[in-house]
Chain A
Amino acid sequence: MDANTVKAVSDTLAQANNKSDSGWILHHILDSRYIDFEPFGRIPLPEIHLFGFDISITKHVVFMWLSLLILVLIFYAVSKSYKKSRIPRGFANVAELLVVFVRDDIAKPTIGKGFEKFLPYLLTVFFFILTANFLGLFPYSATVTSNISVTATLATISFIVIQAGGIRKNGLFGYFKGLIPHGVPVFLLPVMLVVEILGLFTRPFALAIRLFANMTAGHIVILALIGLIFILKTFFVAPVSIAFALFIYLLEILVALIQAYIFTMLSSLFIGMAVHQEH
């Protein structure tokens, strides 16, 4: 065997390993400093450094702002339509349906008395996640909620709201006292305290991971299915790939809704548990 050939083969292999087949999938899912419009080129985004921190505008920041813009425009129009008449018209019906859903099916049964105070937060988080999830389904867009930084931040905000709500209602001491269930033997108290405080942190952690994993997984599966066509280098797999990808895509629409619901629902549930500790 020719030494050159061996070298070429090993080089190719090394390069293939180095690049790793998943590289292009990651490229589509991860954040970047530019917005890709393949094959038309890419729009670079500005880099900003503030007090030594890198707060550059990235792709996900742009799409986050896009969801913000969409939400504000939609709800501005909706609330304006209410000024004209009490009867909702057109899109206001859909918005109202969702608002009433969050109010009556999420906040009211889980928080109970005093749920009105948390309603703006729950509505905002629901609609933000919903819009971001749906925005990620459009071609050339990015799913903000498939970034662990974003979901972790949202979960942290949820955590702060939960603790703040609990402390405000029961007082700082009363809240931490209420964490330990009644009737626990004294010698178990230190253990229970640790377990309960750990429990406080695992809840938002689970929130962050759940949203992130769900939103990422669907995209990875779609990209992997499409990628099969190129990995197997045959057209015959294309119909199967596309059919499955389409199925997953439709599933993604469902998942986008469900994840927004679950995040809000669990946040609301935890707020309810923190506010009414006796239950």
Chain B
Amino acid sequence: MLGMLNIALIALLETEEGKPSLLAVNPGLIFWTVITFIILLIVLKKVAWKPILGVLEERETFIKDSLDKAEKARLEAEKLLAENREAMARTEEEAQKIIAQGREFAEKLKEQIISDSKLEAKKMLDDATAEIKRKNDEAFESLKDQVAMIAIQAAEKIMKENLDTEKQKHLVDRFIDDLPKN
């Protein structure tokens, strides 16, 4: 079968007198091929290749530009982010410092207030003690004076009445009644 195919193929390629052959060159066809190809080249160059290649190039540059722009924007954003982060860190640090300062100040204030109030209290206590002592002394003094006065008055009265025990007793009782009740 293969042999048959082989023979057939050879027969196909053989040029025979008056018979059409695969290798026969037809000048008319060459002429039309040239004409057709040149027309196709001119028409397609005008209709297709120029606009299509133009659009492709335009789009490629557009995409390239867009990518470049995006890249630039990304770098910009990254820079901004880093800056923001730094600023935030700085602010945080600042805030921490302020808080620490406030705490320290408050602590100091507390200490001072406490010591102040202790001092005040001590002073008030001292004052109060002194006052009490003074009042005490005053009262004692006045009591001493009064007792002396009373003794003197009683002596006076005794001197005046001077007689029987009955009367004396009565006198003393009256005197005691006369004493201020305190």
Contact = CB atoms under 8 A, between A and B. Distances in A.
B22 A128 contact: no
Contacts of B4: 231
Summarize B's interface: helix, strand, loop or mixed. helix
A24 B119 CA distance: 133
Interface in A93-141: 95-96, 99-100, 103, 116, 119-121, 123-125, 127-128
Interface residues of B, number: 42
Nearest to A26: B12
B39 interface: yes
B23 A58 contact: no
A10 interface: no
Contacts of B8: 21-22, 25, 224
B40 interface: yes
B52 A157 contact: no
Interface residues of A, number: 56
A64 B9 CA distance: 26
Contact of A120 (B21, B31, B49): B49
B55 interface: yes
Contact of B26 (A65, A127, A149): A149
Contacts of A60: 29
Contact of A99 (B9, B39, B56): B56
A75 B40 contact: no
B52 A96 contact: yes
Contacts of B55: 79, 82, 86
A62 B134 CA distance: 144
A79 B56 CA distance: 11
A3 to B, nearest CB: 31
B53 A149 contact: no
B51 A79 contact: yes
A75 B48 contact: yes
B155 interface: no
Contact of B40 (A72, A96, A147): A72
B155 to A, nearest CB: 137
Contacts of B11: 20-22
Contacts of A99: 49, 52-53, 56
A29 interface: yes
A216 interface: yes
Contact of B20 (A26, A153, A216): A26
B41 A58 contact: no
Given A120-B44, A124-B40, A216 B22 contact: yes
Interface in B39-71: 39-41, 43-45, 47-53, 55-56, 58-59, 62
Interface of A: 20-22, 25-26, 29-31, 48, 53-58, 60-61, 64-65, 68, 71-72, 75-76, 78-79, 82-83, 86, 95-96, 99-100, 103, 116, 119-121, 123-125, 127-128, 147-150, 152-154, 157, 216, 220, 224, 228, 231
Cβ-closest 9 pairs across A and B: A75-B48, A153-B33, A55-B28, A149-B29, A79-B51, A120-B45, A22-B8, A82-B55, A61-B32
